[in-house]
Each structure stands twice: as C-alpha cells, then as structure tokens.
Amino acid sequence: MTAIVSLQNVTKRYTRGKQTVEVLQRIDLSIAQGDFVALMGPSGSGKTTLLNLIGGLDQPSTGEVVVAGERIDKLSGAKLAKWRARHIGFVFQFYNLMPMLTAQRNVELPLLLTSLSASQRRKNAETALAVVGLGERGKHKPSELSGGQAQRVAIARALVADPTLLVCDEPTGDLDRATADEILHLLQTLNREHGKTIVMVTHDPKAAEYASHQLHLDKGQLVGTTTTA
C-alpha cells in the first residue's frame, strides 16, 4: 500500500540552557494510507513529539519527514500552515472548542481558511456533525454538551476539510471508560468505513486495541510494532 507517512533517520533535540536533550533518536517509520496506528510508550518516550512532527507542528533536528507526498521538514511559515490546513485534522485531549460558538460554528472554523461560501461552509459542517452522530446538536454550545459530545464536535471539526490524515493526541484521556470507547469506536469507523488514515497517541492499552497497529516508543526509539486488527 502507498505510504502516507515516511520518516527517515529522524532525530529531535531540544536545548535547555547548556543541556541538550535528544527526544527522538534516528526514527525510521512508514505508515500506509488507510492505516490506524496507535503510538504508545511511557511518559517522556517521545510520543507527542513524534506526532507533532507528523502533523507539521514541529520540525526535526535531522532526517526527512514526508507526509502526503510532501517533504514537510523543508516547509516553513505560510507554506507549512497551508499544507496543514489541507492535509491534517487535529484532535486533542482537551477539545479546544470556542465556548461562545455553537457546535456548527466550531466545526466551520477550519473552513474559514478556504474560499468556500458561507452556505457551503454551513453545509459541510452539518455533514461532518452528522458523520459523528451529532446532526441534531449543531445549535448547542460546548457548555450544553457532554464531554463525549464535545469530543465528537472536535472530531467533526478535524474532518470537515476532508484531511488526508487525522492526528489524535490522547483523544480519550479526559473521558470515562464508556464514553472513551464510544469515541474510539467512532475513530475505528472513520478508519474502516470512510478510509481515514489515523495516527493516535495514547497511554491506554484498551484504546490502542482499536487501532490496526501499535508502535511502541521508549527513550526516543521505536522498540516494537504490534498488529491488533
């Protein structure tokens, strides 16, 4: 299958005062189009750093990062922002919804960067909300939604521009088990029935079981791969 993500010899270092910390060490990684990958590992293993490199939120110290056919480690500024808007849908642990906007308007936000008309933005937002099972909640504000519903709105917002890749950082970390399972089942459905490629950081082994593959990080290195489905 076609690789949608390809990392070659990727290292990431941070300098703190006189100390240099190597967070990722010579990572080689390929993720196929249509895959659902869970990134696992102990705290400080580099999971979120790796996810941020894949999503174009950070740049490697060395190595190549190719996502959706683009060498994104060579992009900067406006070009990188435009690339992210086109190719990446972000889902975070905390939903990052605008409290004064309705669910529909929150979902529309990524489309403000496009040339779509207001009516088309509204239609696309309604479609995305329907996909995540919230077609009747578009006029509700975040304070009127449960945690699970708010995360579904966040997922709809990530989907609305039809991105190449969904990048999820602990998407169920703030939810109870039953609600978390509902969100994970939704992600699995988006992967299996809608063909979305998903990369998800999680510390939860039960969450990782919903993915097709698990990648295990330890001390900045990939130490194993598990096929779960």
Strands (E), the chain: 3-16, 19-32, 36-40, 62-67, 70-71, 88-92, 165-169, 197-201, 213-218, 221-227
Count of domains for the chain:
1
In a domain, 68, yes or no: no
**CATH number of 214's domain:** 3.40.50.300
Strand order in the sheet with 70-71: 19-32, 3-16, 62-67, 70-71
pLDDT score recorded for residue 115: 79
Largest distance between two CA atoms of the chain:
55
126-138 pLDDT, tens digit each: 999 998 888 888 8
In a domain, 138, yes or no: yes
| Token pair for 103 | 């669910």
Q: How far apart are CA 131 and CA 127, in angstroms?
A: 6
More confident residue, 113 or 201: 201
Q: Are 106 and 151 within 8 A, CB to CB? A: no
Q: Are 14 and 20 within 8 A, CB to CB? A: yes
Q: Are 32 and 60 within 8 A, CB to CB? A: no
Q: Are 91 and 158 within 8 A, CB to CB? A: yes
Taking Cα atoms as reference points, which of 78, 138, 180, 178 lies closest to residue 168? 180
In a domain, 77, yes or no: no
CA angle centred on 207, ends 183 and 211, rounded to 5°: 90
Q: How far apart are CA 164 and CA 121, in angstroms?
A: 19
Strand partners, 5: 31, 67
pTM over cut 0.85: yes
Average pLDDT, the chain: 89
In a domain, 118, yes or no: yes
Query: Residue 228: which pLDDT band, with cuts at 50, 70 and 90?
Result: low
In a domain, 67, yes or no: no
In a domain, 125, yes or no: yes
Measured in whole angstroms, how far is the alpha carbon of residue 27 from the centre of its chain?
19
Give the structural domain span for 38.
34-62+85-227
In a domain, 198, yes or no: yes
153-206 pLDDT, tens digit each: 999 999 988 899 999 998 888 778 888 898 899 899 989 988 899 999 998 889
5-19 pLDDT, tens digit each: 999 999 999 888 888
In a domain, 197, yes or no: yes
| Location of structure tokens 């966040």 | 154
Contacts of 119 (CB under 8 A, 6+ apart): none
